Amino acid sequence: MTEALSVDLAETSLRDLHATLHALPKDTNRTLWRVRNPRGKHSVAVGLDAPISLRIEGHVGYYAAGMNARASVLIDGNAGPGVAENMMSGKVRVRGDASQSAGASGRGGLLVIEGNAGARCGISMKGIDIVVRGSVGHLSAFMAQEGFLVVGGDAGEALGDSLYEARLFVRGRVASLGADCEEKPIRPEDRAALENLLERAGFSELRAGDFRMYGSARRLYHFHVDNASAY
């Protein structure tokens, strides 16, 4: 088994780490990486664009693994605001909790959070799939356009406010639904998609039958004066 290349951020600057990772060719055989002592630094492992596996051993600050493409990033700790922001593809897993705006504006790939996520999880998501084992805060999936948000716990106030075509699955209690978000019947294809996401996230103990699904009521697609108060 190939040994992971180790970078200690107590000795190496974040700039040097990124310079090394960003210089990797797309067909690199240096695919296993280990980052030690992140110590809550911001923007760790951003802009990756190679099929590598990178393990961050500790807590990270803002925007960790942002703009990720093709890489598989494991954060063995908690993550600050905006983890996996604008993610394009690949996979990001947070072993602990994530702060607000996790997966914001993500266009693809899979974000898995084993703990809880803060407010605005999945805000303006555009194709990313997000699976949270615990609960999410208020205004999660605000203006979400495409993709899936799966919540194994509870959801805070105004879930799915101004939602477009993303689909939301919640296992626990929903404090309140946002404007133009409503509960939907789960079709066989929805259940199949949910089961697939739970399997990919490694949450096989969660049963798809325990979730409810929410989506757009499609009343806010076009401005109508009768709905003005909801905008």
Residues 63, 165, single domain; the answer is no
Look at residue 48 and tell me whether its pLDDT is greater than 80. yes
pLDDT digits (tens, 9 = 90+) for 153-181: 999 999 999 999 999 999 999 999 999 99
Residues 91, 112, single domain; the answer is no
Higher pLDDT, 54 or 2: 54
Q: Are 59 and 78 in contact (CB under 8 A)?
A: yes
Residues 105, 79, single domain; the answer is no
Last residue in a domain, options 64, 97, 130: 97
Last residue in a domain, options 53, 79, 97: 97
pTM above 0.85, yes or no: yes
What percentage of the chain reaches a pLDDT higher than 90? 90
Residues 155, 61, single domain; the answer is no
Domain that holds residue 47: 1-97
Residues 129, 199, single domain; the answer is yes
Q: What is the dihedral of CA 176, 180, 183, 184, to 10 degrees?
A: -170
Per-residue pLDDT at 168: 98
pLDDT digits (tens, 9 = 90+) for 193-204: 999 999 999 999
Q: Are 148 and 125 in contact (CB under 8 A)?
A: no
Residues 161, 78, single domain; the answer is no
Per-residue pLDDT at 212: 98
C-alpha separations of 3 from 6, 48, 73 in Å:
9, 20, 17
Residues 133, 204, single domain; the answer is yes
Residues 75, 165, single domain; the answer is no
How buried is 153 (Cβ within 10 angstroms: 0-12 exposed, 13-18 middle, 19+ buried)? middle
Residues 104, 89, single domain; the answer is no
Per-residue pLDDT at 63: 98
- CA nearest 193: which of 176, 216, 168? 168
Could you tell me which residues are beta bridge partners of residue 177? Answer: 159
- CA nearest 161: which of 100, 119, 131? 119
Look at residue 116 and tell me whether its pLDDT is greater than 60. yes
Look at residue 185 and tell me whether its pLDDT is greater than 90. yes
Return the H-helix or E-strand segment holding 23: none
